[in-house]
Amino acid sequence: MDNFTNLSGWTIERIPLAGVLFRDVDLSNARFERVTLSRTVMRGVELGNVTIDGDIENLVINGVDVAPLVNAELDRRYPDRPRMRPTDVAGFSEAWDVVERIWDGTVAKARALPPERLHTSVDGEWSFIETLRHLLFATDSWVGPVILGNPNPWHALDLPFDQMEDVPGVPRDRDVRPSLEEVLALRKDRMAMVRRVLDELTEEQLKGQTEPVDGAGWPDSISYPVRECLLIVLNEEWQHRLYAERDLAQLT
């Protein structure tokens, strides 16, 4: 042990470790947040009582690709989940019906809590209010400039993801504490915007590409497949509602 460097209790951030070999390393009780493990190989690993949340694809454990098993189980647990993968205009409209319905139920749970608890972080995650603010950002970013061509769609309460670099014109205020009703008013407007886009969408447009928008902002000003942009919006709504439900249960 004299030759070991003890990093127990450290916080390691923004350090490139691609291609690093870990050997005889104790990672018990470690926590990984926003970590990319693509093409990682683990051999001789003891893995027990582990929780993994994230995008899982081609995960082979003892020779078995478990990702399809995980996805099938998630679809079984959440019957609405397959609807978040639509392929045509009607499917996207139905998916947005689901988003509106399930968020109504989640918001009702939030209203039952004291207002100050909605600003409370659970296990280091965003508070409920911050989660709603991030969804404002996601909608403004992927629908505003990318699909509608608005070069400056962001509101002061929009909240980008933490690892995003600061971009001129895109707000990021972690200290502001708006009320639930204030944020919900903005959410209502943005969700109505998505509904209008879907109501006016044609099959030809869904299969097409967006036009780049000049100016600073996020995402990068390039052309994107329209369907992929709308799938991102659906995924943001679906995943963050699950996170919100998880944390509201703890707060309750």
Q: Is the preceding omega at residue 225 within 30 degrees of 0, hence cis?
A: no
Q: What is the pTM of this model?
A: 0.87
pLDDT tens, residue by residue, 41-84: 888 888 888 888 888 889 999 999 999 999 999 999 999 999 99
Beta-bridge partner residues of 225: 209
Give Rg (Cα) of the chain: 21
Average pLDDT for runs of 10 along the chain of length 252: 70 84 86 86 88 88 94 96 98 98 98 97 95 98 96 96 89 95 98 98 98 89 97 98 96 92
φ/ψ bin of 185: left (φ > 0), alpha (ψ from -120 to 50), beta (otherwise):
alpha
Residue spans of the domains in the chain: they are 81-251
Return the DSSP state at 181: H
243 with 142: CB under 8 angstroms? no
Give the model's pLDDT for residue 22.
Answer: 85
Q: Give the model confidence (pLDDT) of 164-185 as tens digits.
A: 889 988 999 999 999 999 999 9
C-alpha distances out from residue 26 to 4, 7, 85, 228, Å = 11, 10, 39, 40
When the candidates are 3.40.710.10, 3.30.450.30, 1.10.10.60, 1.20.120.450, the CATH number that belongs to 81-251 is 1.20.120.450
pLDDT in the model for residue 20: 86
Give backbone dihedrals phi and psi of 251, rounded to 5 degrees, phi first: -65, -30
Residues contacting residue 168 through CB under 8 Å, at least 6 positions apart: 216
Give 210-231 as a DSSP string.
PPP--SS-SS-SS--BHHHHHH
For the record, the structure tokens of 213 come out as 């928008």
CA distances from 22 to 30, 84, 118, 209 (A): 14, 38, 40, 43
Q: How far apart are the first and last CA of the chain?
A: 45
At 231, the amino acid letter reads: L
| pLDDT of 35 | 85
